[in-house]
Amino acid sequence: MRFKTPVLSGLVFGAAIALSGAATAAEYEIDPTHSFVQFRIQHLGYSWMFGRFNGVSGNFKYDADKPAESAIDVVVDTTTIDTNHAERDKHLRSGDFLNVETHPKATFKTTGYKGDANGGKLAGVLTVHGVEKPVEIDIKKIGEGADPWGGYRAGFEGSYTMTRKDFGMDYDLGPASASLQLEIGIEGIKKK
């Protein structure tokens, strides 16, 4: 019977070590009313055309003390594209561009993070128009803290320049419009 005590103590001690190392970053649910994905693309090289996607959802993990554990999983409803022009939006939803009937969602899923608690580069897989590509998004923390409703929030902004042809969208808009600039704003509510 004496040998059981050291074995049991060893198991408890091992479990305590495993649990202390298993602490993970806090999880947040993306607040769709305070998050956005917007873009701008040149129109004939003369001006910018702006647009946005009105449907953004997902989750992320973040802990200021453990920035390397940061991760995000974002889903964008491509059917919600909005450039303030109904006919143009209809064309952008068509097979010439997003082909939303076949690909109603665009996604980004993290594969790694390099930086500190205030910003860095978020590596991941971006899937648009059914095409998956590894990308890096420059991100910056905007802020975090308690909200007036008893919750806790954190917010970030990011940017990425996307070449349309890389994602199978090669409809000719002229050389000035070969790429577009994405701006991402994410606000999350900490899960309880």
pLDDT at position 23 is: 54
Residue among 78, 80, 135, 85 nearest 110 (CA)? 135
Q: How far apart are CA 131 and CA 120, in angstroms?
A: 25
Q: What is the pTM of this model?
A: 0.84
The one-digit pLDDT tens for each residue of the chain (192 residues) are 444 444 333 433 444 433 434 457 899 999 999 999 999 999 998 999 999 999 999 999 999 999 999 999 999 999 999 999 999 999 999 999 999 999 999 999 999 999 999 999 999 999 999 999 999 999 999 999 999 999 999 999 999 999 999 999 999 999 999 999 999 999 999 998
CATH for 25-190 is 2.40.128.110
Closest CA to 138 of 150, 127, 123, 149: 123
d(C-alpha 74, C-alpha 58), whole Å: 5
